[in-house]
């Protein structure tokens, strides 16, 4: 399980982060900092052992204290950022890990119901894949529905059968694509952890063999509508 906290900090004067996004990693704790303007900063914090007390997850003050406890060894500017967090903007989420190979097992379809986007493929925010993959889902799903609905002329049961066949075709087409994307972001996440350097070098080698260049995943044509 991971604890993920997202928040906004509004400075009275200009902050020191400029226009650059920053990611700080220490002891498996990730602090991401994204400036919005000269005074407003969005940031997120994730750590591997979330607080299990349900009341902590509901109380902004306790959440901020928990965050400060996690980053006590971070640079002073990071501690100041969290200390001045706007309590009204704090959002806390518990994230459960799902291995990429779990995507091989579920059907993703029951009757005339299917899933797309994050409901189908939750990915880490390491390569900017989530939103793009959801758009691919929409195009493939629309195409599969159009093809099957064009072939079916009836209503009622025949219509349900056509929709089910379209969903099955959509799932088959998307399964291997999202498995590949999920594996790639899984390896990227491992590189940001505190694994020994030799292990990280092995991960880099495997990634190059399986996926080639880092952004090859963006050179994908999901076809026309």
Q: What is the distance between the alpha carbons of residues 171 and 163, in angstroms, rounded to a whole number? A: 12
State the average pLDDT over residues 25-52.
84
State the average pLDDT over residues 88-93.
86
Whether 81 shows a pLDDT value over 70: the answer reads: yes
Residue 155: its pLDDT value, please?
A: 63
Domain boundaries, the chain: 2-95, 100-218
Angle subtended at Cα 188 by Cα 25 and Cα 8, rounded to the nearest 5 degrees: 45
Q: What pLDDT, in 10s, does the model give residues 126-139?
A: 667 778 888 999 99
Q: What is the distance between the alpha carbons of residues 163 and 170, in angstroms, rounded to a whole number? A: 10
Q: What pLDDT, in 10s, does the model give residues 142-189?
A: 999 998 887 665 666 778 888 899 999 999 999 988 888 888 888 887
Q: What is the distance between the alpha carbons of residues 62 and 53, in angstroms, rounded to a whole number? A: 11
Tally of residues, the chain: 225
Q: What is the mean pLDDT of the chain?
A: 83
Residue 194: its pLDDT value, please?
A: 72
Contact call for residues 129 and 181 (beta carbons, < 8 A): yes
Residue 48: its pLDDT value, please?
A: 75
Q: Which position has the higher pLDDT, 192 or 80?
A: 80
Q: What's the whole-model pTM score?
A: 0.66
**Count of C-beta atoms within a 10 Å radius of residue 99:** 10
Percent of the chain residues past pLDDT 70, beyond the cut: 88
State the average pLDDT over residues 10-35.
88
Question: In CATH, what number does 2-95 get?
Answer: 3.30.9.30
Q: Cα 72 from chain centroid?
A: 26
Residue 10: its pLDDT value, please?
A: 93
Contact call for residues 23 and 31 (beta carbons, < 8 A): yes
Contact call for residues 133 and 216 (beta carbons, < 8 A): no
23-27: long-range pairs with CB below 8 Å, 24+: 23/192, 24/74, 24/75, 24/78, 25/192, 26/71, 26/73, 26/74, 27/73, 27/194
Residue 49: its pLDDT value, please?
A: 64
Strand order in the sheet with 2-10: 22-26, 29-35, 40-47, 2-10, 91-95
Positive or negative: CA dihedral 32, 34, 4, 83: positive
């Amino acid at each position: 399980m991971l604890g993920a906290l997202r928040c906004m900090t509004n400075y009275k004067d200009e902050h020191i982060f400029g226009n650059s996004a920053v990611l700080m990693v220490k002891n498996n704790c990730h602090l991401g900092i994204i400036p919005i303007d000269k005074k407003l900063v969005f940031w997120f914090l994730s750590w591997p052992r979330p607080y299990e007390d349900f009341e902590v997850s509901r109380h902004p003050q306790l959440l901020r204290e928990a965050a400060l406890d996690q980053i006590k060894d971070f640079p002073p500017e990071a501690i100041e950022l969290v200390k001045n967090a706007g309590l009204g903007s704090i959002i806390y989420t518990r994230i459960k890990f799902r291995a990429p190979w779990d995507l091989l097992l579920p059907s993703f379809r029951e009757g005339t119901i299917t899933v797309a986007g994050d409901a189908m493929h939750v990915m880490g925010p390491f390569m900017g894949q989530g939103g793009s993959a959801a758009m691919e889902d929409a195009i493939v799903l629309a195409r599969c529905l159009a093809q099957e609905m064009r072939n079916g002329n009836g209503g009622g049961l025949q219509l349900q059968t056509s929709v089910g066949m379209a969903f099955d075709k959509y799932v088959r087409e998307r399964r291997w694509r999202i498995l590949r994307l999920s594996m790639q972001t899984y390896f990227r996440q491992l590189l940001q952890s505190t694994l020994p350097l030799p292990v990280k070098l092995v991960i880099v080698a495997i990634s190059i063999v399986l996926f080639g260049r880092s952004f090859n995943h963006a050179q994908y044509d999901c076809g026309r509508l």
